[in-house]
Amino acid sequence: MSELAILGGKKSRTEAYPEWPVWDERDVQAVTDVVRSGRWGGFPYPGPKTAELAKKFAELQGGGYAVPMINGTVTMEVALRAAGIGWGDEVIVPAYTFQATASAPMGAGAIPVIVDVDPNTYCLDAKAAAKAITSKTKAIIPVHLGSNMADMDAIMELAEKYNLIVIEDCAHAHGAKWRGQGAGTIGHFGSFSLQSSKTLTSGEGGILLCKSAEHAALAASVIDCGRPHALGGGGEDANGLSVQGGNFRLSELQAALALVGIERFPAQAKQREEMAAYMDEALSEIQGVRVLKHDERHTTRSFYRYIFAVDPSQFGVEHDVLCAALDAEGVDCWTGYEAMNNYELFQPQKSMMAVPNAFPEYFKFEEMKLPEATRACEHEAVWLDEAVFRAGQKGVDDAVAAIKKIQRNAEELNQAAEELRKKYGK
Ligand SMILES: Cc1ncc(COP(=O)(O)O)c(C=O)c1O
């Protein structure tokens, strides 16, 4: 009988990895208190819990004016609107990310200009971004992917040189630091998601960190139906009603949950970081596995997902087969996002969005050169859940043992690959 669980063998890990989100009576009490208070949401915005969350979150990241809102997609669209970026402006985004990073600019009417990623980190390649800058470029949105950070030194240098706005997409980077400075406080804006899988969550939600009080006031207006918000918050009529806004406010119930999450966050982040360093060492011994580069300037790493790369010719199987086998071993695993050119959302005529149809010349994917993102998406990348680290050393040991087992049996697995693809899908 095969040693591999996917071919009928015994699982490497039989115990389930710890669940997310973590909650206890504190969360129940926090929500109950808000319910009893009668102030569940509404205005004036922010309510007391939301205002407290804004303050505590800015403290956690180490700076900025925090404006909580409904999710980590709207945050980016709002940042662009607050910076006066819109129809026909170009916004540089990486090719390897969740669709939100590119659809948020389209929401503001801007054109996402898609550039390749750095194979060492899978984050936006600053050199590729530099080549894509034109007279219409107004902003760059680097994504801090999985657990890595984009090269913020190079990106800020570009931004200064060409007078661009930088919006850090920090949906995966709560608590991360670059040269000791919090992710999201380096660029003009930092966009955070509090969606249920994120390392700080309120079920759904988002927070926009703004470097300037002026941007924060405008962002608050945009998410509060255009109501005027004074610089740095308050009710004074600073902006008039010239701001196009909508209701993107976070509720007090969500803010209450996120506030309890912030209390737990430092211990969870520390454990993930320690265990990930242990994982780096263990994985670097496996043939055909490439641990992504840890840039020394990335002084605090935060782990939403742990991404490593396989070289199929060395490891023996492609990443999709490895992932299916790893899942069967009891280790949740994912091949990661699709290449940007596979999303119909960005393809003229197929997309329902105005931007690709109005500016089709920007979306000729067959002419674009995105070799690094394509290789990551189609062959290399393996995404592990943060729960592996919350399960402590045993959690990591079990995952590593499973990967080694798969590599030992790669030949057998490869022979079954076609069948497995039919069964599990590519
Ligand atoms: C990189 C990235 N950016 C943005 C988002 C959007 O966040 P939300 O789901 O809160 O809108 C996500 C969410 O998964 C993400 O992974």
Domain 266-424 top-level CATH class: alpha beta
* C-alpha 8 to ligand 1 mean position (Å): 36
Quote the tokens at residue 346.
């960005």
* C-alpha 73 to ligand 1 mean position (Å): 6
Residue with tokens 């900025």: 64
* C-alpha 98 to ligand 1 mean position (Å): 6
- Most informative mutation of 195, 305, 307 for ligand 1 (most atoms within 8 A of CB): 195
- The ligand 1 atom nearest the CA atom of 73: 11
Q: What is the gyration radius of the CA atoms in the chain, in angstroms? A: 22
- The ligand 1 atom nearest the CA atom of 204: 10
The DSSP line for 35-53 is HHHS--S-SSSS-HHHHHH
- The ligand 1 atom nearest the CA atom of 304: 16
Q: Where are the beta strands (DSSP E) in 70-164?
A: 90-94, 111-115, 137-140
* C-alpha 238 to ligand 1 mean position (Å): 31
Q: What's the CA gap between 369 and 49, in Å, rounded? A: 47
Q: What's the CA gap between 291 and 281, in Å, rounded? A: 9
Quote the tokens at residue 211.
């470097």
* C-alpha 340 to ligand 1 mean position (Å): 15
> How far out from the chain centre does Cα 148 lie?
10
- Most informative mutation of 98, 168, 250 for ligand 1 (most atoms within 8 A of CB): 98
Residue nearest to atom 8 of ligand 1 (CA): 72
* C-alpha 171 to ligand 1 mean position (Å): 5
- Per domain, the residue ranges of the chain are 25-261, 266-424
Cα angle 348-349-350, degrees, rounded to a multiple of 5: 90
* C-alpha 355 to ligand 1 mean position (Å): 20
* C-alpha 101 to ligand 1 mean position (Å): 7
Each residue's pLDDT, cut to its tens digit, for the chain (426 residues) gives 899 999 999 999 999 999 999 999 999 999 999 999 999 998 899 999 999 999 999 999 999 999 999 999 999 999 999 999 999 999 999 999 999 999 999 999 999 999 999 999 999 999 999 999 999 999 999 999 999 999 999 999 999 999 999 999 999 999 999 999 999 999 999 999 999 999 999 999 999 999 999 999 999 999 999 888 875 444 445 455 578 889 999 999 999 999 999 999 999 999 999 999 999 999 999 999 999 999 999 999 999 999 999 999 999 999 999 999 999 999 999 999 998 888 999 999 999 999 999 999 999 988 998 999 999 999 999 999 999 999 999 999 999 999 999 999 999 998 887 877 777 766
Among 91, 92, 95, CA closest to 338: 95
- Most informative mutation of 193, 248, 303 for ligand 1 (most atoms within 8 A of CB): 193
* 65, 190 contact by CB (below 8 A): no
- The ligand 1 atom nearest the CA atom of 169: 3
Quote the tokens at residue 42.
């509404």
- Classify residue 313 by its DSSP letter: H
- The ligand 1 atom nearest the CA atom of 205: 10
Domain 25-261 top-level CATH class: alpha beta
Residues having CB closer than 6 A to ligand 1 are 71-73, 97-98, 100-101, 143, 169, 171-172, 193, 195, 206
